[in-house]
Amino acid sequence: MAQTPSIAEESTSTQFSSQQSITLRIAKYNPEHDSAKKFMEFNVSYEKWTTVLEAILEVKKHFDHSVAVRYSCRQATCGSCGMIINGKPRLACFTKISELNSNVITVEPMNNFPIIRDLAVKFERLFDTHHKVKPYIIRDDTEITTDTKEFLQSPEELEQYIQFSNCIKCGLCNSACPTMATDSSFVGPQALAQAYRYVADSRDKGKDNRLKIIDDSHGIWRCHFAGSCSQVCPKGVDPAMGIQLLRGYMLGFRS
Protein backbone atom coordinates (compact mmCIF):
# COMPACT_ATOMS: atom_id res chain seq x y z
CA MET A 1 0.00 0.00 0.00
CA ALA A 2 1.38 3.37 -0.96
CA GLN A 3 2.24 5.56 1.99
CA THR A 4 1.42 9.26 2.04
CA PRO A 5 4.58 11.27 2.75
CA SER A 6 4.42 13.35 5.92
CA ILE A 7 5.03 17.07 5.79
CA ALA A 8 8.58 16.58 7.04
CA GLU A 9 9.31 14.17 4.21
CA GLU A 10 7.73 16.33 1.56
CA SER A 11 10.25 17.15 -1.12
CA THR A 12 10.74 20.60 -2.58
CA SER A 13 11.61 21.14 -6.21
CA THR A 14 14.27 23.72 -5.36
CA GLN A 15 17.83 22.47 -5.58
CA PHE A 16 20.25 24.50 -3.49
CA SER A 17 23.43 24.72 -5.50
CA SER A 18 24.55 28.20 -4.49
CA GLN A 19 27.17 28.86 -1.85
CA GLN A 20 25.17 31.79 -0.52
CA SER A 21 23.63 31.24 2.86
CA ILE A 22 21.73 33.13 5.51
CA THR A 23 20.94 32.65 9.15
CA LEU A 24 17.25 31.93 9.55
CA ARG A 25 15.94 32.76 13.02
CA ILE A 26 12.63 31.07 13.70
CA ALA A 27 10.44 32.01 16.66
CA LYS A 28 9.53 28.94 18.67
CA TYR A 29 6.65 29.19 21.11
CA ASN A 30 4.08 26.77 22.39
CA PRO A 31 1.51 28.56 24.58
CA GLU A 32 0.80 25.32 26.43
CA HIS A 33 4.39 24.87 27.64
CA ASP A 34 6.46 27.99 27.08
CA SER A 35 6.33 31.23 29.02
CA ALA A 36 8.09 33.25 26.34
CA LYS A 37 9.06 33.10 22.69
CA LYS A 38 12.59 31.91 21.92
CA PHE A 39 14.51 31.90 18.65
CA MET A 40 16.20 28.94 16.98
CA GLU A 41 18.91 29.72 14.43
CA PHE A 42 19.60 27.72 11.30
CA ASN A 43 22.08 28.19 8.49
CA VAL A 44 20.24 27.86 5.18
CA SER A 45 21.58 27.98 1.61
CA TYR A 46 19.62 29.89 -0.94
CA GLU A 47 19.37 30.88 -4.59
CA LYS A 48 18.18 34.28 -5.71
CA TRP A 49 14.68 32.90 -6.27
CA THR A 50 14.41 31.07 -2.94
CA THR A 51 11.49 32.26 -0.85
CA VAL A 52 11.36 32.49 2.93
CA LEU A 53 8.75 29.72 2.94
CA GLU A 54 11.11 27.43 1.02
CA ALA A 55 13.85 28.19 3.54
CA ILE A 56 11.51 27.35 6.43
CA LEU A 57 10.54 24.09 4.71
CA GLU A 58 14.23 23.28 4.27
CA VAL A 59 14.67 23.74 8.01
CA LYS A 60 11.68 21.46 8.62
CA LYS A 61 13.13 18.86 6.25
CA HIS A 62 16.74 18.83 7.39
CA PHE A 63 17.03 20.36 10.87
CA ASP A 64 13.84 20.57 12.91
CA HIS A 65 10.62 19.03 11.64
CA SER A 66 8.73 20.33 14.69
CA VAL A 67 8.59 23.91 13.34
CA ALA A 68 4.89 24.76 13.02
CA VAL A 69 4.04 26.74 9.89
CA ARG A 70 0.83 27.03 7.87
CA TYR A 71 1.13 27.07 4.08
CA SER A 72 -0.62 25.73 1.04
CA CYS A 73 -0.48 27.24 -2.45
CA ARG A 74 3.05 28.76 -2.44
CA GLN A 75 1.90 31.41 -4.93
CA ALA A 76 0.33 34.17 -2.80
CA THR A 77 -3.20 32.98 -3.46
CA CYS A 78 -4.33 31.03 -0.40
CA GLY A 79 -3.21 33.58 2.24
CA SER A 80 -1.97 30.88 4.62
CA CYS A 81 1.69 31.74 5.18
CA GLY A 82 1.46 35.26 6.62
CA MET A 83 4.17 35.96 9.21
CA ILE A 84 6.46 38.71 10.45
CA ILE A 85 9.62 38.59 8.35
CA ASN A 86 12.39 40.90 9.54
CA GLY A 87 9.87 42.96 11.48
CA LYS A 88 7.29 43.39 8.71
CA PRO A 89 4.14 41.33 8.04
CA ARG A 90 4.62 39.50 4.73
CA LEU A 91 3.64 36.31 2.95
CA ALA A 92 6.52 33.85 3.30
CA CYS A 93 5.82 32.35 -0.14
CA PHE A 94 5.87 35.79 -1.75
CA THR A 95 9.06 37.07 -0.11
CA LYS A 96 12.36 36.17 -1.68
CA ILE A 97 15.36 35.93 0.63
CA SER A 98 17.46 37.86 -1.89
CA GLU A 99 15.13 40.88 -1.77
CA LEU A 100 15.48 41.24 2.00
CA ASN A 101 19.15 42.31 1.69
CA SER A 102 20.08 40.78 5.03
CA ASN A 103 22.25 37.89 6.14
CA VAL A 104 19.95 37.25 9.08
CA ILE A 105 16.25 36.64 8.51
CA THR A 106 13.96 36.53 11.50
CA VAL A 107 10.53 34.98 11.17
CA GLU A 108 7.87 35.39 13.85
CA PRO A 109 4.13 34.74 14.06
CA MET A 110 1.82 37.59 13.01
CA ASN A 111 1.00 40.24 15.60
CA ASN A 112 -2.57 40.67 16.86
CA PHE A 113 -3.39 36.98 16.42
CA PRO A 114 -3.35 34.31 19.14
CA ILE A 115 -0.49 31.87 18.57
CA ILE A 116 -1.26 28.18 18.07
CA ARG A 117 2.42 27.23 17.92
CA ASP A 118 5.60 28.76 16.46
CA LEU A 119 4.53 30.53 13.23
CA ALA A 120 0.95 29.27 13.10
CA VAL A 121 -1.76 31.61 14.42
CA LYS A 122 -5.50 31.40 15.00
CA PHE A 123 -7.66 33.08 12.36
CA GLU A 124 -11.00 32.94 14.21
CA ARG A 125 -11.21 36.67 14.90
CA LEU A 126 -10.40 37.55 11.29
CA PHE A 127 -13.04 35.17 9.94
CA ASP A 128 -15.60 36.33 12.52
CA THR A 129 -15.19 39.99 11.61
CA HIS A 130 -15.15 39.06 7.92
CA HIS A 131 -18.49 37.26 8.28
CA LYS A 132 -19.86 40.10 10.40
CA VAL A 133 -19.80 42.57 7.48
CA LYS A 134 -21.83 40.19 5.27
CA PRO A 135 -19.23 39.67 2.53
CA TYR A 136 -21.66 38.70 -0.22
CA ILE A 137 -24.10 40.36 -2.61
CA ILE A 138 -27.41 41.09 -0.91
CA ARG A 139 -30.48 41.36 -3.15
CA ASP A 140 -34.20 40.74 -2.83
CA ASP A 141 -34.40 39.26 -6.31
CA THR A 142 -32.19 36.55 -7.75
CA GLU A 143 -31.29 35.62 -11.28
CA ILE A 144 -33.32 32.44 -10.86
CA THR A 145 -36.61 34.27 -10.40
CA THR A 146 -36.08 36.92 -13.08
CA ASP A 147 -35.65 36.74 -16.82
CA THR A 148 -32.23 38.30 -16.52
CA LYS A 149 -29.45 35.77 -16.37
CA GLU A 150 -26.75 38.28 -15.49
CA PHE A 151 -26.45 41.43 -13.41
CA LEU A 152 -24.64 43.58 -15.91
CA GLN A 153 -22.10 46.17 -14.80
CA SER A 154 -20.28 48.84 -16.72
CA PRO A 155 -16.47 48.93 -16.56
CA GLU A 156 -16.79 52.10 -14.46
CA GLU A 157 -19.01 50.30 -11.93
CA LEU A 158 -16.54 47.43 -11.80
CA GLU A 159 -13.67 49.87 -11.20
CA GLN A 160 -15.36 51.03 -7.99
CA TYR A 161 -14.62 47.80 -6.15
CA ILE A 162 -12.49 45.39 -8.22
CA GLN A 163 -9.28 46.24 -6.38
CA PHE A 164 -10.89 45.28 -3.07
CA SER A 165 -12.04 41.90 -4.34
CA ASN A 166 -8.38 40.77 -4.51
CA CYS A 167 -8.32 40.16 -0.74
CA ILE A 168 -7.02 36.67 0.10
CA LYS A 169 -7.78 36.90 3.87
CA CYS A 170 -4.12 36.45 4.79
CA GLY A 171 -4.50 38.75 7.82
CA LEU A 172 -1.35 40.80 7.16
CA CYS A 173 -3.35 44.05 7.31
CA ASN A 174 -4.85 43.12 10.69
CA SER A 175 -1.38 42.16 11.90
CA ALA A 176 0.03 45.57 10.92
CA CYS A 177 -2.90 47.62 12.29
CA PRO A 178 -2.03 49.61 15.44
CA THR A 179 -5.69 49.78 16.52
CA MET A 180 -5.99 45.98 16.36
CA ALA A 181 -3.10 45.82 18.83
CA THR A 182 -4.98 47.71 21.54
CA ASP A 183 -8.69 47.29 20.74
CA SER A 184 -9.70 43.63 20.96
CA SER A 185 -13.19 44.47 19.63
CA PHE A 186 -12.08 46.47 16.59
CA VAL A 187 -13.53 45.10 13.37
CA GLY A 188 -10.19 45.52 11.57
CA PRO A 189 -8.99 46.72 8.16
CA GLN A 190 -9.63 43.40 6.39
CA ALA A 191 -13.34 43.34 7.24
CA LEU A 192 -13.75 47.07 6.61
CA ALA A 193 -12.15 46.78 3.18
CA GLN A 194 -14.54 43.93 2.39
CA ALA A 195 -17.47 45.97 3.65
CA TYR A 196 -16.46 48.66 1.15
CA ARG A 197 -16.03 46.07 -1.61
CA TYR A 198 -19.71 45.09 -1.34
CA VAL A 199 -21.09 48.56 -0.51
CA ALA A 200 -19.46 49.91 -3.70
CA ASP A 201 -20.81 47.04 -5.83
CA SER A 202 -23.66 48.34 -8.00
CA ARG A 203 -25.41 44.93 -7.81
CA ASP A 204 -25.56 44.99 -4.02
CA LYS A 205 -28.60 46.23 -2.09
CA GLY A 206 -27.31 45.67 1.44
CA LYS A 207 -25.50 48.97 1.87
CA ASP A 208 -27.61 50.36 4.71
CA ASN A 209 -27.47 47.09 6.61
CA ARG A 210 -23.70 46.83 6.20
CA LEU A 211 -23.06 50.47 7.16
CA LYS A 212 -25.12 49.95 10.31
CA ILE A 213 -22.95 46.95 11.28
CA ILE A 214 -19.69 48.88 11.09
CA ASP A 215 -21.12 52.03 12.67
CA ASP A 216 -20.48 51.13 16.30
CA SER A 217 -18.00 52.13 18.99
CA HIS A 218 -15.45 49.56 17.76
CA GLY A 219 -16.24 49.92 14.09
CA ILE A 220 -14.97 52.08 11.26
CA TRP A 221 -14.42 55.21 13.37
CA ARG A 222 -11.62 53.62 15.37
CA CYS A 223 -9.33 53.60 12.31
CA HIS A 224 -6.60 56.24 12.78
CA PHE A 225 -5.49 56.03 9.17
CA ALA A 226 -1.98 54.88 10.02
CA GLY A 227 -2.02 53.26 6.56
CA SER A 228 0.14 50.31 7.62
CA CYS A 229 -2.55 47.89 6.39
CA SER A 230 -2.11 49.14 2.84
CA GLN A 231 1.67 49.12 3.16
CA VAL A 232 1.78 45.39 3.90
CA CYS A 233 -1.03 44.09 1.65
CA PRO A 234 0.56 41.64 -0.81
CA LYS A 235 -2.35 41.97 -3.26
CA GLY A 236 -2.52 45.77 -3.47
CA VAL A 237 -5.98 45.92 -1.91
CA ASP A 238 -5.34 49.21 -0.04
CA PRO A 239 -7.71 48.73 2.91
CA ALA A 240 -6.89 52.23 4.24
CA MET A 241 -8.37 53.79 1.11
CA GLY A 242 -11.41 51.52 1.35
CA ILE A 243 -11.99 52.68 4.92
CA GLN A 244 -11.78 56.35 3.93
CA LEU A 245 -14.17 55.79 1.01
CA LEU A 246 -16.52 53.96 3.36
CA ARG A 247 -16.40 56.93 5.74
CA GLY A 248 -17.52 59.05 2.80
CA TYR A 249 -20.75 57.02 2.72
CA MET A 250 -21.23 57.42 6.45
CA LEU A 251 -20.62 61.18 6.41
CA GLY A 252 -22.94 61.66 3.44
CA PHE A 253 -20.28 62.59 0.87
CA ARG A 254 -21.04 59.48 -1.18
CA SER A 255 -24.29 57.71 -1.86
Partner 1 sequence: MRESIIMKIHYGTALAAVALVAVHVLMRLTQGFSESLEYDSIIANYKFLPYAGMLEIILILLSIHGFNGLRVILLELKQGRTYEKVVSYGCVAAMIALIVYGSRTIIMVNTGMI
List of residues contacting partner 1 (CB under 8 A): 179, 182-186, 215-219, 221-222, 250-251
> Cβ of residue 222: shortest distance to partner 1, in angstroms?
6
Q: Which runs of E-coded beta strand occur in 72-137?
A: 82-85, 88-91, 104-108, 115-117, 120-121
Give the nearer residue to partner 1 in terms of CB position, either 60 or 222: 222
> Cβ of residue 180: shortest distance to partner 1, in angstroms?
10
Give the nearer residue to partner 1 in terms of CB position, either 53 or 199: 199
Give the nearer residue to partner 1 in terms of CB position, either 61 or 218: 218
> Cβ of residue 135: shortest distance to partner 1, in angstroms?
21
CB 65 within 8 Å of CB 8:
yes
> Cβ of residue 179: shortest distance to partner 1, in angstroms?
7
Give the nearer residue to partner 1 in terms of CB position, either 184 or 255: 184
In 3D space, the residue among 82, 86, 110 whose CA is nearest the CA of residue 97 turns out to be: 86
- Residues 6+ away with beta carbon under 8 Å from 217: none
Tally of CB atoms within 10 A around 42: 18
| Residue 57 backbone dihedrals phi, psi, to 5 degrees | -70, -30
